[in-house]
Chains A and B, each alone.
Chain A
Amino acid sequence: QKEVEQNSGPLSVPEGAIASLNCTYSDRGSQSFFWYRQYSGKSPELIMSIYSNGDKEDGRFTAQLNKASQYVSLLIRDSQPSDSATYLCASLWGQNFVFGPGTRLSVLP
């Protein structure tokens, strides 16, 4: 069974702090990883993709991948109340995605 695990949270951080979201996956064959943001009542929105070990930065977001340890993380710098949402981690296995249950992030003003 291919699984993606995340801490469900809620993770609370003060405005302006760094939010760190973590994800582990079970299948060593997974090569591609994704972070989605989902606001309450809305559909998931793709915010980051990462395919190779190391860091990938996009604005205030940094995705980190460590294939040896089978974990993926998402850092959000200068967190804003508008970042409050559930963040889903996903891995691509073959042509199908495996999604984690999501971590709820709350950024406190």
Chain B
Amino acid sequence: DVKVTQSSRYLVKRTGEKVFLECVQDMDHENMFWYRQDPGLGLRLIYFSYDVKMKEKGDIPEGYSVSREKKERFSLILESASTNQTSMYLCAIGRGLEQYFGPGTRLTVT
């Protein structure tokens, strides 16, 4: 079974704060992804990584950065949180051709 965990289920932060969202997998998967999901806009890819210290921009990278220092951990960083970053954040790992999601973090920025 694929297991993907995310650091928090719910998070409330203030505008301007630096926010870290962590994703951890318990298998040796190379590919990891960060998405956000908003009503009416669907799932949008923020960043992805195919290996340690490697990162690629997705469709909406502005306002975000990522870090992958160890294979099992992929962090999403909001450098200065804004209200338009209130969303559900989903981490996923790739296994073969398939993608599996973590439980998600619902972030509210006030």
Distance (whole angstroms) from the CB of A104 to the closest CB of chain B: 11
- Could you say which of B13-21, B64-72, B77-85, B98-106 contacts chain A? B98-106
Distance (whole angstroms) from the CB of A30 to the closest CB of chain B: 12
Q: Given the complex, which residues of B lie within 8 Å of A32, measured CB to CB?
A: 97
Distance (whole angstroms) from the CB of A90 to the closest CB of chain B: 8
Given contacts A88-B43, A95-B50, A101-B42, contact A43 B97 (CB under 8 A): no
Q: 1/0 contact trace for A40-60 toward B, CB 8 Å? A: 001111100101000000000
Count of residues in B whose CB is under 8 Å from the partner chain: 20
| B31 contacts the other chain (CB 8 A) | yes
DSSP class of A's interface residues: helix, strand, loop or mixed?
strand
Cα distance, A95 to B48, chains bound together (Å): 10
Find out whether the CB atom of A95 lies under 8 angstroms from the CB atom of B94. Answer: yes
| A92 contacts the other chain (CB 8 A) | yes
Chain A, interface size category, equals 10 to 19
User: Which chain B residues numbered 29 to 45 have a C-beta less than 8 Å away from chain A?
Assistant: 31, 33, 40-43, 45
Given contacts A99-B42, A101-B42, A102-B42, contact A49 B103 (CB under 8 A): no
Distance (whole angstroms) from the CB of B90 to the closest CB of chain A: 6
Q: A51-B97, A97-B45, A99-B43 are in contact. List 6 more A-B contacts (CB 8 A).
A: A34-B98, A43-B104, A49-B97, A88-B42, A99-B42, A101-B40
Chain B interface (Cβ within 8 Å of chain A)?
31, 33, 40-43, 45, 48, 50, 58, 90, 94, 97-104
13 contacts between A and B (CB under 8 A): A34-B99, A43-B102, A44-B90, A46-B98, A46-B99, A46-B100, A51-B97, A90-B99, A95-B50, A95-B94, A96-B45, A101-B42, A102-B42
